[in-house]
Each structure stands twice: as structure tokens, then as C-alpha cells.
């Protein structure tokens, strides 16, 4: 055997035993596998986390979490039992060292962020912003972002079964937090969805719709099925992707009878029409891929849809090593038949600096994961550049590593640039975390930003 930087090894999936948590000691398999039970027992606040974990979680951790919720969090807390159960999967809260392991756990780090996780020097980049990708600016009709020439993003609803601390759509998604108010859709849901369908019928150049939110798992099934059926009747639509982190966060939802039967109807209709439907999920750590997740993915593939793909997010402390990314990709591909597809660099939202990697780090990781997976399943690490869109990390046009500013170009106009002569010749900047820069680069930012407060703006 040749010694390689990454040693591939097939690993069987395991469902951690939820009964190790004092609050779930008596929960049966039937309860655990019920989506209704999972939704009713999501952890929504510190009190509920304490009830689940019991006294094994230290007071210091609880205070750290409470402070983050009060002063920094951009997302409210909502963690399904399925996700809590994948944190520290082999130790119980009463065991020595549990709190330390909980602090260090990759899933905990992005689902239950605490104050001490964040950077004290630069909690936010000076150019961090709500809606950092300017999606709302590019709404063709409310909730329908038309950024790329042939594809659109439909934000059907502003909620999910789980809230991720780093959510890009923190502007819109979830409940308000003490520091962040949320944007509210102006129109009622049915009117919005009808306007989206009307726009797509009137815009034959669009062939691809990402049906998202939020998470489509939170839309009542009949409403989601009706919308996708309407999409299937739009002559120009050839690809439909349903975005749902819940395939991993609450696989019980996708295993439910109503949802499976409905997906079968949609799959059959799509085949008749020659349209591809795929599910796009969001898994960031190998330990999140459990047998239940694999069952849900298989159930979806059995409905005849084209694929189940993963779009993870590259996050420091969660998956910022070649080993973590390859372990994740192999768990998805080998054991759950989920296609590793994209890894997004974490977007520049307020409070995200401790999660973000520099472009150079992302380029290094892309290089380090090449050659192990089949080419079709090697995830591309992408930077979602504001006003540009996704770019592979090696597509950068110029890179000032002293100031941590990368410059990008593009080859199409977004929906708001119809008359912009310079859109295709301009360079668009993206920014590395400042604390990673050499000292003179950090000084440059400090001098420039001395009088400017980080953009953790309060919005009513
Ligand atoms: S599931 Fe997606 S939309 Fe929902 S909170 Fe997480 S990142 Fe945001």
C-alpha cells in the first residue's frame, strides 16, 4: 500500500443512541422515527437543551450560549432531535469531558453557536451585510431571484425545520433574534407563488428553478406539490431542484407516507414531461449521515427523481480539513447515494468571521480533495461573489493577499444589469477574514475602519 495523505476507508453508518440523553431516555423507535414527534421536540431554547442534556452540560456552556443568543446570534435556535443526536455521538452528557466534547463538536459549532466561538477582534467583516448576496435586490417578483441567465431561485417560505447559525438568508429566514429583525414578505403566499409561475411562463429563457426557502419541508405538502405541478406545466422549465436540509436534519419528514406518495406523483409527472427533479440537501459533517438519512435519500431516489445532491458549506471548526471533506463526501456517496456537489464558502453575513475561511485556504482544500473521489462526485468549492454568483475558487482574477481582497469577473448579466455597459468588464471584490491577514494588512483595515462599527445592525 502506498502511503497517501488521505487513507480511504469504508465506514458503516450508525444511528447514535438517543437514549443516552437524559431527556430522551424513554423515547421509542416509533417516536423517534415520527416526523411529528421530531417537530414537537425540537430544541428551541436553552431551557429545552438543559432538559434534554440534563446536568451533564456545564453551567459555563449554558451561560456562553445564552450570551450568544442575546448579543450575537443572527438565527434563533431550532435543532431537531435528529441533529442533536449526531452531536458527540458516542458519549452521554453525564460522562467526564462531555461539555468539552460538545464545545468541540462540528455539528454543535454551527447549529448551537456560543459567544466564545466568535471572534472577539472582528466578529463581523466591515463589508458583512444582511442579504449579502443581494438576492432581494434581484427579485423579479417577490421571492423569485433572477441572478443567472437561465435559472432562478424561488424562495417559497421563510422557515425551516432547523436553523443553522451561519444561514446566508438570515435576513429573511427564521424568527427575529435580539440583534436581528427579519424581513417579511409583503404579499400573501398564494399570491407570491402565483406571481412566480406567471413570471416563469412569461420568461422562456429560464429553464431551471431552485425551489427553496427556507426549507421546502416546512411547506404543507399539498401546497408544495401544487407549486411543483404548476412548474412542471411551464413549457420552458427543464430542471427543478427542491432545496431541503431536512433530508438530513429531519429525514423522518421525507420518509412520511404523504410525502413519499406525493413525490412519486411528481416523479411520474416529471418523467412524462421529460423534466428532471432533484433534491438538494445541505450536509456539512460526516457524522450527520446516519442510516435514517440514507433511508430518506433512497426513498426519494425510489420515487424516480433524477438525483439527490449535497450542497454543504465550508466552515472553520466544522469541515475545514481535507480529511473532514473527504470523510463527508464518501459517507454521502458510498452509504447514502447522495452526490457530493458543492461546498460553498461561508457568506459574509454579520457574525460569521470565525466560520469563514480565506480564499487561499479554500483553494488549498480544493487541491487537497482532488483525485480521491470519482470526478463526477468531487465537490467543487465555490465562492458566491456578491453581484456575480458562484465561481470556482481557482477562477479568481486577481488576489491581494495582504488586504485579503480577491477580484472576480463574470460572463453574464444579473437581472438588475440589463443596461449596465460595464457589468462584464468590471471586477467584483470578495474579502478574506481580516484576522488571518499579515499584520500590515490588518493594520490597513483597522486604520480604515477605526470609526466604523461592525454591521450587526438592529432592524425592527
Ligand atoms: S436550512 Fe438552509 S435556509 Fe434553513 S437555516 Fe439552514 S442554511 Fe438557512
Q: What is the average pLDDT across 387-408?
A: 97
Q: What pLDDT does 457 receive?
A: 39
Q: What pLDDT does 1 receive?
A: 85
Spatial contact of 433 and 362, defined as CB atoms under 8 Å apart: no
pLDDT band at 451 (very low <50, low <70, confident <90, very high): low
Please spell the DSSP secondary structure of 66-135, one letter per residue. Answer: HHHHHHT-SS---B-HHHHTTSSTT--TTSTTHHHHHHH-HHHHHHS--GGGS-SS-SS-TT--TTTT-T
Residues 6 or more apart from 27 whose CB is under 8 A from it? Answer: 18, 19, 37, 81
Whole-number Å distance, alpha carbon 118 to ligand 1 midpoint, is: 19
Name which residue sits closest to atom 7 of ligand 1, judged by CA.
Answer: 167
Spatial contact of 349 and 128, defined as CB atoms under 8 Å apart: yes
pLDDT band at 453 (very low <50, low <70, confident <90, very high): very low
Q: What pLDDT does 91 receive?
A: 96
Phi, psi of 154, rounded to the nearest 5 degrees: -105, 115
Whole-number Å distance, alpha carbon 245 to ligand 1 midpoint, is: 7
3-state secondary structure of 433: coil
**Closest ligand 1 atom number to CA of residue 170:** 8
Which residues line ligand 1 at a C-beta cut-off of 6 Å? 160, 162-164, 167, 169, 173, 214-215, 245, 282
Please list the alpha-helical segments (H only) found in 233-290. Answer: 246-249, 251-254, 257-273
Whole-number Å distance, alpha carbon 214 to ligand 1 midpoint, is: 6
For a pLDDT cut of 90, what percent of the chain falls above it? 95
Could you give the C-alpha distances from 338 to 183, 247, 287, in angstroms and in order?
A: 33, 11, 14
Name which residue sits closest to atom 1 of ligand 1, judged by CA.
Answer: 245
3-state secondary structure of 160: coil
Query: Mutation test of ligand 1: which of 171, 210, 282 has the most ligand atoms closer than 8 Å to its C-beta?
Result: 282
Name which residue sits closest to atom 5 of ligand 1, judged by CA.
Answer: 163
Q: What is the mean pLDDT of the chain?
A: 96
Q: Give the C-alpha separation, 129 to 313, whole Å.
A: 18
Q: For 67-88, write each residue's pLDDT tens digit.
A: 999 999 999 999 999 999 999 9
Q: Give the C-alpha separation, 245 to 215, whole Å.
A: 7
Query: Mutation test of ligand 1: which of 111, 113, 164 has the most ligand atoms closer than 8 Å to its C-beta?
Result: 164
Helix then strand then coil, % of the chain, to nearest 5 = 40, 15, 50
3-state secondary structure of 158: coil
Grid cell of 309 as nine digits: 445532491
Whole-number Å distance, alpha carbon 223 to ligand 1 midpoint, is: 20
Q: For 190-200, write each residue's pLDDT tens digit.
A: 999 999 999 99
Whole-number Å distance, alpha carbon 17 to ligand 1 midpoint, is: 26
Global pTM reads: 0.96
- Sheet of 151-155: strand order equals 139-141, 144-145, 151-155, 208-212, 239-243, 276-281, 307-314, 339-345, 380-385, 389-392
Q: For 143-154, write each residue's pLDDT tens digit.
A: 999 999 999 999
Res. 459: pLDDT tops 70? no
Q: Give the C-alpha separation, 85 to 104, whole Å.
A: 15
Q: Are strands 398-400 and 144-145 parallel, antiparallel or unpaired?
A: unpaired
Whole-number Å distance, alpha carbon 87 to ligand 1 midpoint, is: 18
Whole-number Å distance, alpha carbon 426 to ligand 1 midpoint, is: 31
Could you give the C-alpha distances from 272 to 205, 232, 265, 304, 332, in angstroms and in order?
A: 22, 10, 11, 11, 29
Q: For 438-448, write each residue's pLDDT tens digit.
A: 999 999 999 98
Whole-number Å distance, alpha carbon 164 to ligand 1 midpoint, is: 6
Biggest CA pair distance of the chain:
65
Name which residue sits closest to atom 3 of ligand 1, judged by CA.
Answer: 214
Q: Give the C-alpha separation, 457 to 57, whole Å.
A: 32
Residue burial 320-333, b: 16+ Cβ < 10 Å; e: rest: bebebbbbbbbbbb
Q: What is the average pLDDT across 16-22?
A: 98
Q: What pLDDT does 450 receive?
A: 61
Q: For 103-134, write each residue's pLDDT tens digit.
A: 999 999 999 999 999 999 999 999 999 999 99
Residues 6 or more apart from 64 whose CB is under 8 A from it? Answer: 114, 115, 116
DSSP 335: I
Residue that is written with C-alpha cell 412520511 in the block: 256
Q: What pLDDT does 22 receive?
A: 97
Q: What is the average pLDDT across 213-229?
A: 97
Amino acid at each position: 500500500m502506498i502511503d497517501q495523505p488521505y487513507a480511504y476507508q469504508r465506514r458503516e453508518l450508525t444511528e447514535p443512541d438517543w437514549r443516552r440523553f437524559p431527556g430522551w431516555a424513554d423515547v421509542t423507535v416509533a417516536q423517534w422515527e415520527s416526523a411529528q414527534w421530531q417537530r414537537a421536540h425540537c430544541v428551541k431554547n436553552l431551557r429545552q437543551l438543559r432538559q434534554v442534556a440534563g446536568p451533564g452540560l456545564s453551567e459555563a456552556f449554558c451561560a456562553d450560549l445564552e450570551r450568544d443568543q442575546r448579543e450575537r446570534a443572527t438565527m434563533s435556535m431550532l435543532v431537531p432531535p435528529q441533529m442533536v443526536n449526531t452531536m458527540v455521538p458516542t458519549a452521554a452528557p453525564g460522562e467526564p469531558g462531555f461539555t468539552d466534547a460538545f464545545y468541540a463538536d462540528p455539528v454543535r459549532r454551527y447549529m448551537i453557536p456560543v459567544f466564545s466561538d466568535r471572534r472577539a477582534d472582528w466578529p463581523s467583516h466591515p463589508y458583512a451585510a444582511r442579504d449579502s448576496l443581494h438576492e432581494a435586490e434581484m427579485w423579479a417578483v417577490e421571492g423569485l431571484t433572477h441572478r443567472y441567465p437561465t435559472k432562478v431561485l424561488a424562495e417559497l417560505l421563510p422557515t425551516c425545520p432547523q436553523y443553522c447559525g451561519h444561514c446566508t438568508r438570515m435576513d429573511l429566514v427564521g424568527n427575529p433574534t435580539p440583534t436581528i429583525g427579519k424581513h417579511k414578505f409583503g404579499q400573501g403566499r398564494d399570491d407570491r407563488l402565483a406571481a412566480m409561475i406567471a413570471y416563469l411562463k412569461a420568461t422562456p429563457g429560464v429553464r431551471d428553478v431552485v425551489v427553496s426557502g427556507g426549507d421546502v419541508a416546512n411547506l404543507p405538502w399539498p401546497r408544495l406539490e401544487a407549486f411543483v405541478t404548476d412548474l412542471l406545466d411551464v413549457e420552458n422549465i427543464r430542471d427543478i431542484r427542491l432545496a431541503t436540509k431536512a433530508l438530513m436534519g429531519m429525514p423522518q419528514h421525507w420518509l412520511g407516507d404523504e410525502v413519499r406518495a406525493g413525490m412519486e406523483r411528481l416523479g411520474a409527472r416529471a418523467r412524462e414531461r421529460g423534466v428532471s427533479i432533484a433534491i438538494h440537501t445541505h450536509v456539512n459533517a460526516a457524522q450527520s449521515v446516519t442510516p435514517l438519512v440514507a433511508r430518506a435519500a433512497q426513498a426519494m431516489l425510489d420515487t424516480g427523481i433524477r438525483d439527490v445532491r449535497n450542497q454543504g458549506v465550508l466552515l472553520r471548526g466544522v469541515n475545514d480539513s481535507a480529511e473532514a471533506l473527504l470523510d463527508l463526501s464518501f459517507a454521502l456517496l458510498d452509504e447514502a447515494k447522495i452526490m457530493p456537489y458543492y461546498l460553498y464558502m461561508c457568506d459574509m453575513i454579520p457574525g460569521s468571521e470565525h466560520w469563514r475561511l480565506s480564499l487561499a485556504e479554500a483553494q488549498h482544500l480544493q487541491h487537497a480533495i482532488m483525485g480521491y473521489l470519482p470526478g463526477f462526485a468531487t465537490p467543487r468549492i465555490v465562492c458566491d461573489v456578491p453581484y456575480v454568483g458562484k465561481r470556482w475558487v481557482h477562477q479568481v482574477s486577481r488576489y491581494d493577499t495582504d488586504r485579503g481582497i480577491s477580484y472576480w469577473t463574470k460572463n453574464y448579466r444579473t437581472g438588475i444589469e440589463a443596461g449596465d455597459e460595464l457589468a462584464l468588464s468590471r471586477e467584483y471584490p470578495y474579502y478574506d477574514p481580516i484576522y488571518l491577514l499579515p499584520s500590515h494588512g490588518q493594520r490597513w483595515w483597522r486604520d480604515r475602519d477605526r470609526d466604523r462599527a461592525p454591521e450587526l445592525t438592529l432592524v425592527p
